[in-house]
Amino acid sequence: MEHRALGRSGLKVSVAGLGCNNFGMRCDEDRSREVIHAALDTGITFFDTARVYGGGKSEEFLGRALKGHRDEVVLATKFGAVAQADDAGGSRRHLLRSVETSLRLLDTDHVDLLQLHRPDPVTPIEETLGALTTLVEHGKVRYVGCSNVTGWMIADADWTARTRNLEPFVTVQNEWSLLNRAIEHEVTGACERYGCSVLPYFPLASGLLTGKVRRGEPVPEDSRLANAWFGSVLTDDNFTKVERLEAWASARGRALTEVALSWLASQPVVGSVIAGATSVEQVRANVAATRTDLTTEEIAEIGALVGR
């Protein structure tokens, strides 16, 4: 398993990570524990969760499953996705309360990476970074990151951190897959410029890039794609792209999942590809498929098949 540094931080993580958004939603605690332990067995060291995943169950399940393994992993969580009308997600008040809850549920005295889950249009970024800096100074957080941001937000946060002597963001977690490449228009460039690693989420487009769902066929009821929100990727255009990718992969003895995950893992700006899993078999398959051996020419060929 290859390991990479996260941006300007001292954290090194496995290039294949585990997204923990299924825990407490699609996986009960027993299944979650099986998935987490399988991830540890395959060499995954990066676990990404969030305060809102599973209504808090994800953090709780993860904390108990990692008992005895805490020092072996890089543990990341997020704050600020859901807040009350008078409690903005990026505010100092919300952040300080949220992290205490996360630490309790994760059963740890610190998190390695704490991320702003989504931009807060109400709270000045200086307030958010100031509160994060306080947490770093108190040893409750090691490094900080953000999610679902634009290029100008990354630049603004970096300028604010430098001019106010605050902790800078070292990671950016945005959606990125061969079927959603919007991040490449400005965010990946901003990450390269300001020293942030990208943590792509939904790298398999909610399962469409596994090839298990075919054009014109019903979606399995237990699939994430059966949900109307996730199922929005089920378009004729996307099916055409998947079919092109499958043909390219088949001609080279590769699986579609391997092409999708390896294409992301082969991007220098990527820190860890955080694919979710609901079974031990999925964890093992995702780890085996997350390779960094694509050539520059192959990366370009794959990108050309889907367009930007």
In angstroms, what CA-CA distances link 271 with 14, 192, 210?
8, 12, 22
Neighbours of 100 (CB within 10 A): 12
The residue type found at 218 is: P
Q: Which of 53, 143, 194, 201 is catalytic?
A: 53
- State yes or no: pLDDT of 179 exceeds 60: yes
- Tell me the pLDDT band of 233, cut-offs 50, 70 and 90: confident
Domain 3-205+260-290 bears CATH identifier 3.20.20.100: yes
Question: Average pLDDT for residues 97-108, to the nearest whole number?
Answer: 96
pLDDT of 188 > 90? The answer is yes
H helix or E strand, kind and range, residue 127: helix 125-137
Tens digits of residue pLDDT in 122-153: 999 999 999 999 999 999 999 999 999 999 99
261-289 mean pLDDT: 96
Does 84 have pLDDT greater than 70? no
How do residues 193-227 score in pLDDT, each as one tens digit? 999 999 999 999 988 999 888 887 777 776 776 67
Average pLDDT of the chain to the nearest whole number: 94
> Of all residues in the chain, what percent carry a pLDDT higher than 90?
86
- pLDDT recorded at residue 216: 75
Pick from 220, 203, 216: nearest CA to 270: 203
Q: Write down the pLDDT at residue 11.
A: 95
194 included as an active-site residue: no
Long-range contacts of residues 39-44, Cβ cutoff 8 Å, at least 24 apart = 39/277, 39/283, 39/287, 40/69, 40/72, 40/73, 42/1, 42/16, 42/283, 42/284, 42/287, 43/1, 43/14, 43/16, 43/287, 44/1, 44/14, 44/16, 44/17, 44/18, 44/283, 44/287
Q: Where are the domains of the chain?
A: 3-205+260-290
pLDDT at 207: 87
The predicted pLDDT at position 27 comes to 96
Tell me what the mean pLDDT of segment 86-109 comes to: 91
Q: What is the pLDDT of residues 25-62, one digit of tens each?
A: 999 999 999 999 999 999 999 999 999 999 999 999 99
